[in-house]
Amino acid sequence: MFGLPPPGIGEILDTLVAVRWRRLDAMIDKKSDINKKPDPDTEPDWTGSCEVCGQSPILPATGMCGPCTFGEADTVGGNW
């Protein structure tokens, strides 16, 4: 009996490890987002207008504005 972990401890440890990995994944995702920023393809282009709605700025890679490219209203005004 002594020295043996109580039943269920393995499950708890597995959960803790899984949570930790998920946090690590989230951190890596954030880093890759930061790395994308200086990419000229994702820099807001104020000289062009969106192919769909005619707004500026556009994402040079798609020729469309933020909301049309990402489907997120928060990206309006080059805020991506």
Residues that bind Zn ion (CB under 5 A): 50, 52-53, 55, 65, 68
Which residues, 6 or more positions from 23, have their beta carbon under 8 angstroms from its beta carbon?
none
Q: How far is the CB of 74 from Zn ion (least distance, A)?
A: 14
Q: Which is nearer to Zn ion, 4 or 42 (CB)?
A: 42
Which residues lie across from 58 on neighbouring strands? Answer: 45, 65
Q: Which is nearer to Zn ion, 14 or 41 (CB)?
A: 41
Could you tell me the two tokens for 70? Answer: 């990402």
Which residues lie across from 45 on neighbouring strands? Answer: 58
Q: Which is nearer to Zn ion, 43 or 52 (CB)?
A: 52
Q: How far is the CB of 53 from Zn ion (least distance, A)?
A: 3
Could you tell me the two tokens for 64? Answer: 């469309």
* Amino acid residing at 10: G
Q: How far is the CB of 61 from Zn ion (least distance, A)?
A: 14
